């Protein structure tokens, strides 16, 4: 067996409409389609599925999504203007040669933690 790529990431939500609004309006991800209590977004070829938990065991599950951006500081400021709740400011988490990996963690409206991520070349 060989896994080629991530095809879809499921994100549980407690309030479906609130969850859809966050990913559509605050993260500006294109909504592919919505049916019943399922909403599918495109994130540059990776599909994000928002859904109400099917079983109680899935109610507290969460996936951390790392959204890559070119300009982490600019993206951070833009999302702050949209009232996105950040857990920290953009900061370096790793240095590898002439590349720094920057991250800034935030919460969606359902309490799931995600991050902005950027690879920055330093001279």
Please write the tens of the pLDDT for every residue from 109-121.
988 889 999 989 9
* CATH number, span 8-121: 3.10.180.10
Average pLDDT over residues 14-28: 95
Residue 44 has pLDDT above 70, yes or no: yes
For residues 120, 84, 86, 95, the Cα torsion angle rounded to the nearest 10 degrees is -10
Residue 82 has pLDDT above 70, yes or no: yes
The values of phi and psi at residue 73, to 5°, are -70, -40
């Amino acid at each position: 067996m060989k896994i080629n790529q991530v095809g879809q990431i499921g994100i549980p939500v407690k309030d479906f409409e609130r969850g859809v609004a966050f990913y559509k309006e605050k993260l500006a991800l294109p909504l592919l389609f919505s049916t019943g209590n399922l909403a599918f977004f495109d994130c540059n070829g990776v599909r994000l599925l928002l859904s109400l938990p099917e079983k109680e065991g899935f109610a507290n599950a969460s996936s951390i999504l790392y959204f890559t951006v070119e300009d982490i500081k600019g993206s951070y400021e833009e999302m702050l203007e949209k009232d996105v709740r950040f857990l920290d400011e953009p900061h370096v988490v790793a240095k590898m040669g002439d590349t720094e990996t920057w991250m800034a963690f935030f919460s969606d409206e359902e309490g799931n933690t995600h991050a902005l991520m950027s690879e920055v070349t330093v001279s």
